[in-house]
Structure 1
Amino acid sequence: MSNFLSNTNPNPNKSFEVNQPPTDSVSSLSFSPKANFLVATSWDNQVRCWEVARNGVNVATVPKASITHDHPVLCSTWKDDGTTVFSGGCDKQVKMWPLLSGGQPMTIAMHDAPIKEVAWIPEMNLLATGSWDRTLKYWDTRQSNPVHTQQLPERCYAMTVRHPLMVVGTADRNLVVYNLQNPQVEFKRIVSPLKYQTRCLSAFPDQQGFLVGSIEGRVGVHHLDDSQQGKNFTFKCHREGNEIYSVNSLNFHPVRFMFHLCLIILI
């Protein structure tokens, strides 16, 4: 990736690096829905939190707290009230961290293989977890057993939720769509429009479709309504000469209906 970054302006967006960053690759980033707190998970087994604040023309990042997993951490999400962080990874468990209260993390979910994705669903008051054990599980954090286990066709690689829409991407290019008003039944199963492994997903803000990104530097735009299939398309991105880079993260702007691609932060 050194060739990709070595140009005349290596920081065109005037980005700021956080203080005391992870010592290994970052696997997920999650901003608090209620405050200026950023959480990052990493392959160094850590979950870290920074407070982000503007300091004149600069941005100040203050390390606030961190917790440790037994193995690399792959995913994270906040509870909708901004008090709690959930994180999961290669130790096959999800930890619930009451960050704002200063409480100790506790294990509230388990799988038989690494946990690749977590999502808090406030409309259901449940946590959804997707794993390489080919299951999707829903958890009430007050109980030790899942309230429902959904079999997946293959290992979970990506997941996106905008209630009532959930899309899970698995190995073998499967994209499984669920209507969370009836989560025990698949709404639709789609073969990815991209020819290579799925790396990330992001549901449209209006829940009418989703984006899918792959390891081959492409993004697919897919509408769920059969009458809208003519609007589906794919495009190439993150290419420099003959070099092709994975699309590791997709997200929509919270106000404008546009999306952002993330290449460098998540690797």
Structure 2
Amino acid sequence: MSFLGSSANVSSTATTTNTPGQVINDVNVNNPPEDSISDLSFSPQQDLLAAASWDRKVRVYEIDPNSGNNQGRAMYEHEGPVFSASWTYDGTKIVSGGADKQVKIFDLQSQQAQQIGVHDAPVKAVRYVECGPTNTPAVVSGSWDKTLKYWDMRSPQPITTIQLPERVYAMDASQKLLVVGCAERNICVIDLNQPQQIFKNSQSPLKWQTRSICCYPQGNGFAIGSIEGRCGIQYINENEQNKFGFAFKCHRKTNGGTAGSSLRTGASSPSQAYPVNSISFHPVYGTFSTAGSDGTFCFWDKDARQRLKSFPELNSTITATAFNKNGTIFAYALGYDWSQGYMGNRPDYPVQIKLHATKDDEIKQKKKRV
């Protein structure tokens, strides 16, 4: 892609000279939503970007990976704000859920949307998954009604309903791993080989409310972000967790600027913490991004425990992010996230989707020093 132009002990090898990345040439997506964007999702098959918005619509944009040129491809509506949108693995359909309590599926070819499920309260997150040894396709939805439901896309009745300890705030899936972040810092891990039961219940390693969750591409763990500018690196296997798991501060501002250049957990100067609104993993390198209410995004390497690249503060909070299928495009949404209450909103608050062309020196793991 060329449209851009030209909290653990950390060893000294984990530090890096960090120069701010550039966003000045990032491309605007044409005809963005009319209200804050709650979710972004790229097709796993082609450069199509789905955007879920508080304006009750899901929009699909077609992006030229060489020029960054883009245009609307499709749009469909819910009866309330849409909180989540996700693609099927074959890239032919989008599933979505929102404040209208509905789970919908949209067929890109026929341009038709239909309701496939319903909850007793708003649907916070949806994912397309494959369950069991035969990889049976299903849509899974997590709701504020404290349930997780699986749908087979052909029946109005759920295949399975799981009672959760609290309301769903965040959810993600990868391979056979499904992780649900609930209110009161509850985390439910589900093995999709046995999707009808919770594999493990635990408490978030972070002290404050869960805001975002993203599973590793390998399906062996997940990153979790909180409202207090902190991110946790978690593994399902206890031995891996004891060896590699940690938490670190991010999306904080000190008197001297943004806090932290590496994934450290020691004492630091007082800082203002901002919610970590979105975490996205690079599909090839396994590195990841965080984006927050401070209006910045950063790229990180969890294995080396270092920040790869920081980017300048934007005049807006970042509400959602996504990498495309090969990680050459990083999409991020600007819009108000209500983190400062109604006082922080204003009529001219920008609502945009931006496309950043990733470079290897920004997102690829650094070679380890000898």
Q: Tell whether the structures are fold-level matches, with TM greater than 0.5.
A: yes
- Of 272, 276, 284, 1:243 maps to 272
CA distance in 2, matches of 1:181, 1:83: 24
SS state at 2:199 partner: strand
Q: Tell me the residue number matched to 1:259.
A: 288
Partner of 1:4: none
Larger Rg over CA atoms? 2
> How many Å apart are 1:13 and its aligned residue?
6.5
Structure 2 residue aligned with 1:132? 144
Find the residue that maps to 2:239 and give its secondary structure: helix
User: What is the alpha-carbon distance in structure 1 between the residues aligned to residue 189 and residue 59 of structure 2?
Assistant: 32
The correspondence for 1:195, drawn from 207, 211, 218, is 207
Distance across 1 between alignment mates of 2:21 and 2:222: 31
Where in structure 2 are the equivalents of 1:96-111 lying within 5 Å? 96-102=105-111, 104-111=112-119
1:25 to 25, 30, 36: 36
SS class of match (1:125): strand
Separation in structure 2 between the aligned mates of residue 247 and residue 132 of structure 1, nearest angstrom? 20
Distance 1:245 1:220 in 2: 15
Contact 1:115-1:131 at 8 Å conserved across structures: yes
1:154-233 alignment runs, 5 A limit: 154-228=166-240, 229-233=242-246
**CA–CA separation in structure 2 for the residues paired with 1:101 and 1:88:** 20
| Percent of residue pairs identical | 45
Shift of 1:93: 0.1
What is the CA distance between 1:10 and its match in structure 2?
A: 9.9
What is the TM-score normalised by the length of structure 2? 0.66
- 2:84–2:125 contact (8 Å) kept in structure 1: yes
Paired residue for 1:118? Answer: 126
Aligned-partner Cα distance in 1 for 2:70–2:250: 30
* CA displacement at 1:185 relative to structure 2: 2.2
More strand by share: 1
Distance 2:244 2:77 in 1: 44
CA contact (8 A) 1:83 1:101 kept: no
Structure 2: which 5+ runs fail to align? 1-19, 255-270, 293-317, 321-336, 338-370
Query: What's the secondary structure of 2:214's corresponding residue?
Result: strand
Q: Which residue of 2 aligns with 1:75?
A: 84
> What CA distance in whole angstroms lies between the structure 2 residues aligned with 1:13 and 1:192?
36
Deviations 1:82-120 (A, max 9, x none): 111111100000111112232x21111100000001010
Task: Measure, in 1, the Cα distance between the counterparts of 2:200 and 2:190.
Answer: 7
Coordinate RMSD, CA, aligned: 1.7
Alpha-carbon deviations, 1:14-59, whole Å to 9, x = none? 3222101111111000111111111101111111111111454xx1
Residue 41 of structure 1 is matched in structure 2 by: 52
Question: How far is the alpha carbon of 1:236 from its aligned partner?
Answer: 0.8
Shift of residue 11, structure 1, vs aligned partner: 5.4
Cα pair distance change 1:44/1:11, threshold 3 Å: farther
Partners of 1:43 and 1:10 lie apart in 2 by 30
Please give the alpha-carbon distance, in whole angstroms, between the structure 2 residues aligned to 1:206 and 1:254: 9
Distance 1:243 1:72 in 2: 30
One-letter amino acid matched to 2:286: F
Contact 2:175 2:218 (8 Å CA) reproduced:
no
Q: Does structure 1 conserve the Cα–Cα contact (< 8 Å) formed by 2:175 and 2:217? A: no
Q: Which whole-Å CA distance do the structure 2 matches of 1:246 and 1:139 have between them?
A: 32
CA gap 1:82/1:167 in 2 versus in 1, 3 angstroms: same
Q: 1:91 aligns with which of 53, 75, 100?
A: 100
- Per the TM alignment, residue 157 of structure 1 is displaced from its structure 2 partner at its CA by 0.8
